[in-house]
Amino acid sequence: MKTVRIPPALRSETEGKREVHAAGGTVRELLDDLVSRFPSLRSQLVDGDDIAPFVNVYVEGEDVRTLDGLETEVHDGSTVILLPAMAGGA
Amino acid sequence: MPSYRDLLQQVKAEIDEVDVSRAREIVDAPDERPLVVDVRELDEWTEGRIPGAIHIPRGNLESRIERAAPDRAQPILLYCAVGNRSAFAAKSLGELGYENVTSLAGGYTDWKRNGFPTEVPRSLDAAKRQRYSRHLLIPEVGEEGQLKLLDSRILLIGAGGLGSPASLYLAAAGVGRLGIVDDDVVDASNLQRQIAHSTERLGESKADSAKRTIEALNPDVDVVTYKERITSENIDRILADGWDVIVDGADNFATRYLLNDASVWHDIPLVHGSIYRFEGQVTVFTPHQGPCYRCLFPQPPPPELAPSCAEGGVLGVLPGIVGSLQASEALKIALGAGETLTGRLLLFDALATEFNEVTLRRDPDCPVCGEHPTITEYIDYVEFCSGRPTHA
C-alpha cells in the first residue's frame, strides 16, 4: 500500500482523513483505487483521461508531469501528495 | 638627531611613490588592480574615500594587513591625506616583506583636487546602530546588509492575513520603503488574524491602518499606500514606483495570476504565500531563474473547487506563520543572502505540525515564462479564473 496525502480542500470527500492508503503500482492505479472508494474525488482530480490541470500530483516530491504522468511508478512506502492550487491569503 | 622632515625625506627615498594621475591608471586597470588601503583616521575616512579602498588606520596597519593581504606579492597602493603617513606606512609594509607597495604622493587631497571619483562611505547613525543591533551581530547582515535593507523597497499585495505579519516584520527589520496595496476596510471578522489592525480601527482603510501600525513600530520606514484593488489597469503604474520584491498576500486566483505575469514581465521576484484552514504554501517565483506560478498551476481550479478563507475559514495563527516565512524570504532576497524557496514549494500543515517540500520545475511550454510565450500582455484574469472556457 502507498500513502496518499489529502489536502484540506479535498478532505470533505475523504471523510476528513488527511492521509489514506491506496493500492496500485502507478499513479493511474492509485487514483483509480482512490476514486472507486471516494467517487466525489473524481471531478477534483481527473479531467478526461488525465490529471486535472489545476491539481498537481507529487511522488517523492516530484511532479508526475515531469516524470511519466499517470504511468509514473509508485513504490511501496512512497508518499503521494495531491496538491490543488489555493488562493487564500486574507 | 634627524628632524621629522629629514626622516620623511629619508623614508620617501626608500619607497616607491606614484602621483595621482598614475595612481588613477593603476586603480582603473581591470586586471592588476592593487589593494587600495586608506591609512587615515576614521573621521577622515567617513568624509570620503577612493572608491573600492579598504580602511586600515596607520596605527593598526601592521597588525591588520596580513588578513587583508595574505600574499606578500600582492600589489598594494597606500594613501593618506597628503602622502606622508602613507610613506611611513609603505616603509613598514616593506619591512613586513610586502614586495609591491606604493604610496600615493599628494594623497587623497590631490586625488580629490584633480576631480577623480570619490565616494562617501555610508554608515548607520547611533540610533539605527542600536535599533538594528541584533542584525548587526549576524555575519550575513551586519552594517552593510542593514544598509541594503534600508535601501530596499518591498511591495505587499494585501494588508490582510499574510500582509499583516509580513509587513510588520519587514518594517521592524528596517526595510526602507514598503508599499501596501489594499482597497478594503478593517472588519471585525479580520481581527482574529490580521494583526496590523485593531478594534479601534474598524471601518478604517486597511492600507492606512497598516501604515499607522508600521510607523509606530519603526519610523525609519517610508510607507506608500495604494488604496485600490490591483488590476491590469493599475499594476504597471504601481510597479513603476520601483520595487525590488513583491510579497503576494492576495486572496483570489485572478490577482495571483495577474501578479505572476507582471512579475515575469517586470523581472521582479514574487514571494508567494497562500493559506486555507490549517494549511499553507510558500514559495518564491524568481523570473527566468525558477518556475513561475503558471508553471506550478497552469490553470486555476473551477471556483466551486477552490473555496476562499472567507468561505472555508482559516486558523488565525496560520497566516502569522506563512506571512512570516514570506517576510523571511523577502529579506533574504533584499540581502542577497542564503537560499530562497525558488524551485521549491514549502507545504505547512498546522494540524499535524508538519512541513513538506516538493520540487517545482520550469515548464518550457509555460505560456508566460516558457521558451515560446503565448501570453505577452495582460489578459482578463477574472474571466480566466471564472471556470468558463477561455482562449488563454
Render B104-152 in DSSP notation, one character per residue. Answer: ETTHHHHHHHTT---B------HHHHHHTHHHHTSTTTHHHHHHHHHH-
B360 HSE (CA, 13 A, CB side): 28
Q: B 358-377 residues with CB below 8 A of A?
A: 358-361
What pLDDT is stored for residue B391 in this prediction?
Answer: 45
CB atoms A85 and B249 under 8 Å: no
C-alpha Rg value of chain A to the nearest Å: 12
Establish whether B309 is a catalytic residue: yes
8 Å CB contact of A85 and B248: no
Residues of chain B with pLDDT under 50: 390-392
Give the whole-angstrom CA distance, residue A13 versus residue B39: 73
Nearest to B274 among A54, A66, A87 (CB): A87
| CA–CA separation, B242 and B267 (whole Å) | 11
Quick one: DSSP state of residue A10?
Answer: G
Assign A37 a pLDDT band (cuts: 50, 70, 90). Answer: very high
- What are the two backbone dihedrals, phi and then psi, of residue B281, each rounded to the nearest 5 degrees? -130, 135
Going by the DSSP 8-state scheme, the letter that residue B302 receives in this structure is P
Other beta carbons less than 10 A from residue B3's beta carbon: 8
pLDDT of residue B389: 56
| Closest in A61, A83, A84 to B305, CB measured | A84
Cα separation of B322 and B163, whole Å? Answer: 10
CA distance B13 to B197: 71
Query: What is the crossing angle of helices B85-95 and B61-68, to 10°?
Result: 70
CA distance A37 to A57: 18
Type of residue numbered B103: S
Contacts of B201 (CB under 8 A, 6+ apart): B186, B209, B212
pTM of the model: 0.80
Write out chain B residues lying below 8 Å of A88, CB-based: 161, 251, 274-276, 308-309, 312, 314
Dist. CA B375–CA B80, nearest whole Å? 58
| Cβ neighbour number for residue B116 with a 10 Å cutoff | 17
d(CA B367, CA B265): 12
CA dist B379 and B377 (Å) reads 6
Shortest distance, CA A90 to any CA of chain B (angstroms): 4
Q: What ipTM does the predicted assembly reach?
A: 0.93
B154: CB partners within 8 A, 6+ apart:
B170, B175, B177, B178, B179, B243, B244, B245, B246, B247, B330, B334
- Among B80, B292, B309, B366, the one annotated catalytic: B309
| pLDDT tens, position by position, B72-113 | 999 999 999 999 999 999 999 999 999 999 999 999 999 999
B-proximal residues of A, 45-64, CB under 8 Å: 52-56, 58, 61-63
Name the residue facing A89 among B251, B306, B352 (closest C-beta). B251
What was the pLDDT predicted at A7? 86
| pLDDT in the model for residue B392 | 38
Those of residues 76-105 in B touching chain A at CB distance below 8 A are none
A55-83 mean pLDDT: 94
Ramachandran angles phi, psi of B256, nearest 5°: -65, -40
> Roughly what angle, to the nearest 10 degrees, separates helices B142-151 and B318-335?
110
Tell me if residue A19 falls in helix, strand or coil: strand
* Cα B76 → chain centroid: 32
Q: How far is B163 from chain A (nearest CA, A)?
A: 8
Do the Cβ atoms of B207 and B159 come closer than 8 Å?
A: yes
Q: Alpha-carbon Rg of chain B, whole angstroms?
A: 28
Q: How far apart are CA B174 and CA B180, in angstroms?
A: 16
At B328, list the grid cell.
523571511
- In the prediction, which pLDDT does B301 show? 86
Share of chain A above pLDDT 90, in %: 68
Contact: B306, A9; criterion CB under 8 Å? yes
Q: Say which residues have a Cβ less than 8 Å from residue A79's Cβ, sequence separation at least 6.
A: A2, A3, A4, A5, A60
Return the sign of the alpha-carbon dihedral for residues B192, B194, B195, B197: negative
pLDDT score of B85: 97
| pLDDT for B302 | 83
Using a CB-CB cut-off of 8 Å, the residues of chain B touching A63 are 358-361
Q: For chain B, what is the total number of helices (H) and then of strands (E)?
A: 17, 13
For residue B353, the model assigns a pLDDT of 94
pLDDT confidence of residue B32: 79
